[in-house]
């Protein structure tokens, strides 16, 4: 095991703050992962599993071992005339994997083009965009169960997938994902109903959409609307859309008729967190080199803060303002360390 000491984490997470880790290692095999976990246990060190660091905010030094998952490989396990099953290493870059599928016209993941991060982290948050959740295409997840101390395969039905959630998020630190099994289609059901995708396809004169034309539209939309973390460090949407009861909704809509909210069940509504933030005046606001992106208020950008604590404080001020104005508590959608 190649162990590095006192490593600056700046290059390993997309908020690019200057926090340090006491120990760092990269693992490319199951054996190396077990060796790293054993080392942490024997040396009384906590450990943290890291993918691309695009959903993490470090607010202080990590006193322990950071284990970066670098398992790679895309393997075709089954293929029929209509579909295929692929096993993909957890360390593969998500957007590269999606491009690989799109180039072969294998459908299912095209709406999730260009989302940053690794394949192994995708099931954790059940990544979603433009009307698709990744769970719709996951057959099972291979992981090391740190509780039972054995390798397990968790079928989709047992992953408890929901909006930005899964068993991997609920049982924090229990499972370390080594690979994910995806089912893709050669005759995909294309999802073009999302407004922005529809507009781009229309503007481009696409009347008969394909996996490729949808991926290209999504890449175009994302490139124009999301800040590139390499230029403007960020971790995507910082907050989740909050859920409220119908009674709360009825009271809020009376007071704020333009409230953006959607019914989820008979008694539950999901509010657009972006609308709440804009209504509180956060769009484009920058304080102490941390701010809300001008085109996407939910994205908090690090404009030069060296420590993650400033970003955390900024996000807490947002949460408080929403609570005061609307009585609604918005939750952070990223991992705070
Ligand atoms: C510009 C931008 C746009 C984004 N847009 C979207 C979007 O449209 N939709 C969306 O859903 N998300 C979006 N995100 C969020 C982010 O891309 C995803 O959450 C992504 O899946 C994180 O992957 P990662 O490898 O960077 O995870 P990391 O940040 O490295 O880790 C995230 C969490 O998963 C754990 N983890 C990582 N890998 C493993 C593993 N192999 N086994 C066990 N635990 C692990 C970590 O310990 C941590 O708790 C965006 C982020 C950015 C920066």
pLDDT digits (tens, 9 = 90+) for 200-251: 999 999 888 999 999 999 999 999 889 999 999 999 999 999 999 999 999 9
Give the atom of ligand 1 at the shortest distance from the alpha carbon of 126: 11
Q: Output the CA torsion sign for 328, 333, 334, 335.
A: positive
Give the residue ranges of DSSP H helices in the chain.
30-42, 94-103, 122-125, 167-170, 195-203, 211-225, 246-255, 273-279, 308-326
Q: Are 321 and 280 in contact (CB under 8 A)?
A: yes
Rounded to the nearest whole angstrom, what is the distance from the C-alpha of residue 109 to the centroid of ligand 1?
A: 16
Give start and end residues of each alpha helix (H) in 153-288. Answer: 167-170, 195-203, 211-225, 246-255, 273-279
Confidence (pLDDT) at 244: 92
d(CA 62, CA 231): 25
Distance in angstroms (rounded) separating the CA atoms of residues 279 and 318: 11
Q: Are residues 57 and 80 in the same domain?
A: no
Same domain, 116 and 168: yes
C-alpha dist (Å) from residue 268 to 66, 95, 252: 39, 33, 13
Confidence of residue 297 (pLDDT cuts 50, 70, 90): very high
Name the residue of 111, 124, 335 to mutate for ligand 1: max ligand atoms within 8 A of Cβ. 124
Query: 138 and 12 share a domain?
Result: no
Shared domain for 175 and 101, answered yes or no, is yes
Q: Taking the model in full, what pTM does it have?
A: 0.91
Same domain (yes/no): 102, 144? yes
Average of pLDDT values for 19-43?
A: 95
Say if residue 150 is in the same domain as residue 119.
yes
The CB of 176 under 6 Å from ligand 1? The reply is yes
235 sits in the region (left: phi over 0; alpha: psi -120 to 50; else beta) called alpha
Least confident range of 109-118, 165-174, 270-279: 165-174
Structural domain boundaries enclosing 327: 234-336
Q: What percentage of residues in the chain have a pLDDT greater than 70?
A: 100
Examine the pLDDT at 153 and tell me if it is beyond 90: yes
pLDDT at 306: 81
Is 200 in a helix, a strand, or coil? Answer: helix
* Alpha carbon distances (Å) from 185 to 79, 137, 155: 10, 9, 19
Instruction: Establish whether residue 179 lines the binding site of ligand 1, counting it when its CB lies within 6 angstroms of any ligand atom.
Output: no
Q: How confident is the model at residue 329 (pLDDT cuts 50, 70, 90)?
A: very high
**Closest approach atom of ligand 1 to CA 118:** 25
pLDDT tier, 64 (very low <50, low <70, confident <90, very high otherwise) = very high
Residue 188 has pLDDT above 80, yes or no: no
Among 225, 242, 262, where does a domain finish? 225
By alpha-carbon position, which residue is closest to atom 40 of ligand 1?
Answer: 177
pLDDT at 246: 92
Last residue in a domain, options 69, 91, 109: 69
* Total residue count of the chain as it appears in this document: 337
Check residue 189 and give its pLDDT: 84
Beta bridge partners of 336: 57
Q: What total of structural domains would you count in the chain?
A: 3
């Amino acid at each position: 095991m190649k162990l590095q000491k006192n490593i600056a984490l700046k290059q390993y997470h997309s908020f690019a703050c200057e926090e340090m880790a006491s120990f760092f290692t990269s693992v490319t095999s199951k054996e190396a992962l077990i060796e790293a976990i054993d080392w942490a246990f024997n040396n009384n060190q906590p450990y943290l599993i890291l993918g691309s660091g695009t959903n993490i905010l470090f607010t202080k030094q990590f006193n322990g071992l950071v284990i970066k998952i670098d398992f790679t490989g895309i393997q075709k396990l089954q293929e029929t005339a209509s579909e295929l099953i692929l096993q993909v290493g957890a360390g593969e870059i998500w957007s590269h994997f999606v491009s690989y599928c799109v180039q072969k016209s294998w459908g299912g993941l095209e709406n999730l083009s260009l989302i940053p991060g690794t394949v192994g982290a995708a099931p954790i948050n059940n990544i979603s965009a433009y009307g698709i959740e990744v769970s719709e295409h996951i057959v099972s997840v291979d992981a090391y169960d740190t509780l039972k101390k054995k390798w397990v395969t968790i079928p989709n039905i047992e992953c408890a997938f929901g909006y930005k959630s899964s068993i991997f998020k609920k049982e924090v630190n229990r499972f370390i994902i080594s690979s994910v099994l995806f089912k893709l289609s050669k005759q995909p059901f294309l999802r073009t109903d999302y407004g922005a995708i529809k507009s781009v396809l229309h503007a481009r004169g696409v009347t008969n959409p394909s996996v490729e034309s949808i991926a290209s539209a999504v890449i175009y939309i994302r490139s124009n609307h999301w800040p590139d973390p390499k230029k403007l460090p960020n971790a995507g949407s910082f907050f989740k859309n909050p859920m409220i009861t119908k009674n709360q909704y009825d009271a809020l809509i009376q007071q704020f008729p333009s409230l953006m909210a959607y019914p989820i069940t008979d008694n539950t509504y999901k509010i657009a967190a972006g609308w709440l933030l804009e209504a509180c005046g956060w769009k484009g606001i920058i304080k102490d080199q941390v701010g809300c992106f001008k085109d996407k208020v939910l994205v908090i950008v690090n404009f030069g803060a060296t420590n993650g604590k400033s970003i955390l404080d900024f996000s807490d001020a947002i949460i408080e303002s929403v609570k005061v104005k609307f009585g609604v508590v918005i939750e952070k959608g990223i991992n705070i360390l």
